[in-house]
Structure 1
Amino acid sequence: MTSPPGVARPTIGLNADLGEGAGADERLLAVVTAASIACGGHAGDEHSMRVAVASAAARGVAVGAHPSYADRSGFGRTDLDVSVPVLRRQLLDQVRALGRVADDAGVTVSHLKAHGALYNAAMVRDDLAQLLTEIAATALTDPLPVLALPGSVLAEVASRSGIPVVREGFADRAMRPDGTLVPRGEPGAVLHDAREVRSRMADLAAVVDTICVHGDTPGALLLAQAARDGLREAGYLVGARPGGQPR
């Protein structure tokens, strides 16, 4: 698909969750336009954050914070019963740790994206949506846009609070009719067919601002390339953020 003469092509982001030890970060950074970097909750430490931030900056890739429940053994994909005050401190520590690394590298943190079970829970739970909105507003000097599923509780709470919302879709995940992600334990929850990913980009891009490929999904690089190809075929410029410069 091409835009009519004189009509600007829409811009969409392509992001990946990185710094998680999956081993494909450098290659993915050549394809994506934004990286959400693990900052110690489910994965990552100061060294991995420094490597990821430096690599992203060298590629012109936007850097975001990717905090989670403090759950390294479960990779942040287990629902945990954590009090809001404890979780607030954990998330602040994670986001601020990445903020310090970014400051040292001369990089601005561009967004906040929760990981795993926390991400999914914040899409439907008001208390966690309120908490993530608070973290986005206060963790660093400037408020951070939040990545959220379209129509989710988090998107609504953040928007009401004046926090910019970046609507996110997933190239490598199946969705339920209500717009939430199919749980990973269910058949077909994670997509592995690059042709399927490529073919679904036009429909997905019509309702989101950025599309994610998980860095730890097997074949992540191939899926990211397929997503990028599908977006371009659908008439989109792939940029760091809506209205950003294309890559």
Structure 2
Amino acid sequence: MSWQWFHRLGSPRWFYQKSSAWLPWLGGAALLLLTVGIVWGLAFAPEDFKQGNSYRIIYIHVPAAFLALAGYYIMAISGAIGLIWKMKLSFVVMRAAAPIGAAFTFIALFTGAVWGKPTWGTYWVWDARITSMLILFFLYLGVMALSGAFSREQSGDKASALLALVGTVNIPIIYKSVDWWFTLHQPATLKLTEASTIDPSMFYPLITMIAGFYLFYAWVLTFHTRTMILQREGRTQWVRELLGAPAPAKA
């Protein structure tokens, strides 16, 4: 039964039909959490005793950085599933995830630069964490470029999936860069195996923003995947019926 469900999930038509009911819930929950988190973090969280109010950019920077990393894994895993099980939907998700991940990586780099100016006195340094995040941004762009570099769609899918898989080696480097090398970037404040080093009054709005960002990512990825399904399946009968397009003329 679970194997049948797995293959059914790989059907673009099945996904398109089922996901229409997900969008309102994902969008509504994301909007609620993001609104609460941003108001809580910007208006009610206390001022940092060292950085003053400039630290508040973490409520955008940290969630964006989280999604930049998690989104790459989603893209790479989707590509791997497409390569192994030849599922068309997996390649669609991979292609849909690439520009979204690139956008979150750019936001993380930009907000990090804005935060770095009052903290380090400069917008950019060739810090281990920042440099590896820049490489991540280029990897996203590379996947996007390879996806459209081939005349045959299947060739672009396979090539970009391979690049996405190779690029996963950069993710643990990003995560551990502040521990492996001397770096200006502060160590992680949110930890899975140890107590977080951020005060609860700042921690709870940050967690709220992270949850909101994840839901927003799920909403955007679902919406973009649905759009790409219509583009790639445009010649199929079910898409023509859905869009009200006339049937192709018979020779």
Higher helix share: 2
Higher strand share: 1
Give the TM-score normalised by the residue count of structure 1.
Answer: 0.23
The structure number with the bigger radius of gyration is 2
Give the TM-score normalised by the residue count of structure 2.
Answer: 0.23
